[in-house]
Amino acid sequence: MPPRTVRHLGAATVLAATLAGTAACAVGPARTATPVDAVAAAPSAAPTTTASPTAPVVPAAVPKTLSFGGKTLDGTAFSAAALAGRPVVLWFWAPWCATCASQAWTVAEIAPKYRDTVPIVGVAGLGEQKAMKEFVTEFDLAGTPQLDDRAGAVWRRFKVVEQSTFVVLDRDGKVVHQGFLDGDALTRQVETLARG
């Protein structure tokens, strides 16, 4: 054989051996994953809900208790489903109720602080819309959603029969309290839910 052919055959043999070795690594015997391999290869146990500019937030499943909607006193459409995944406080009040008026100061004070972690939603009923709007203005509640429930649909949904009633839902939509709460008890309840 001419020397040039031998060189080409030699190079081809080396190349074939290299490719065979690479292929053997890919299909060779199973190896135990090191901790770094295990972390890199492990699929995520649950979809991430961390908000970032490039990753969309995975919406929470909507529990039955938050499957309702309506309009706020200022006419804006409201969907309770948007609150899913967070604890929620529903406050059922009437504009002529003295107890509601005393609680309104606490709601106005704590609602802005916990807006993103434990939303408080007022559910106004048992009165005229004009009186309800005046109540919201007088107690500076405009920064908190206030549903116009003059028809009583949300009141009936939660079997509320008297004002002032708080319905407290945990992040799964389960009712964890329904009834009266004074200002201190309401504040403690919201702080506890925010930490949980």
Q: What is the CATH number of the domain that holds 186?
A: 3.40.30.10
Pick the range with the lowest mean pLDDT from 52-56, 152-156, 184-188: 52-56
The model's confidence at residue 143, banded by pLDDT at 50, 70 and 90, is: confident
Greater confidence (171 vs 50) lies with 171
Q: 134 with 184, same domain?
A: yes
**Beta-bridge mates of residue 177:** 168
Greater confidence (23 vs 147) lies with 147
Domain holding 135, by residue range, is 64-195
Q: What is the pLDDT of residue 67?
A: 94
pLDDT higher than 70, residue 29: no
What is the phi/psi pair of residue 187, to 5°? -60, -45
Q: 165 with 132, same domain?
A: yes
Q: 122 with 153, same domain?
A: yes
Give the residue-averaged pLDDT of 6-25.
39
**Mean pLDDT rounded to a whole number for the chain:** 78
> Please, what sign has the CA dihedral across residues 14, 16, 19, 24?
negative
pLDDT higher than 50, residue 38: no
Q: Do the Cβ atoms of 147 and 134 come closer than 8 Å?
A: no
Q: Which residue has the tokens 């529903």?
A: 90
% of the chain with per-residue pLDDT over 90: 67
Pick the range with the lowest mean pLDDT from 21-25, 32-36, 188-192: 32-36
Give the residue-averaged pLDDT of 57-78.
87
**117: which residues sit within 8 A by CB, 6+ positions away?**
86, 87, 193, 194
- Cα separation, 35 vs 71, in Å, equals 53
pLDDT higher than 50, residue 17: no
pLDDT, tens only, 119-133: 999 999 999 999 999
> In this structure, which amino acid lies at residue 163?
Q
Give the residue-averaged pLDDT of 55-81.
85
Q: 36 with 119, same domain?
A: no
Greater confidence (145 vs 29) lies with 145
Give the residue-averaged pLDDT of 39-45.
34
DSSP string covering the chain: --HHHHHHHHHHHHHHHHHHHHHHHHHSS--PPPHHHHHHHSPPSS------SSSPPPPPP--GGG--EEEBTTS-EEEGGGGTTS-EEEEEE-TT-HHHHHHHHHHHHHTTTTTTTS-EEEEE-SS-HHHHHHHHHHTT-TTS-EEE-TT-HHHHHTT--SSSEEEEE-TTS-EEEEE---HHHHHHHHHHHHH-
- Cα separation, 176 vs 178, in Å, equals 7
Q: What is the pLDDT of residue 59?
A: 54
Residue 182 in domain: yes
Residue 48 in domain: no
The model's confidence at residue 149, banded by pLDDT at 50, 70 and 90, is: very high
pLDDT higher than 50, residue 35: no
Residue 55 in domain: no
Q: 9 with 92, same domain?
A: no
- Cα separation, 85 vs 81, in Å, equals 9
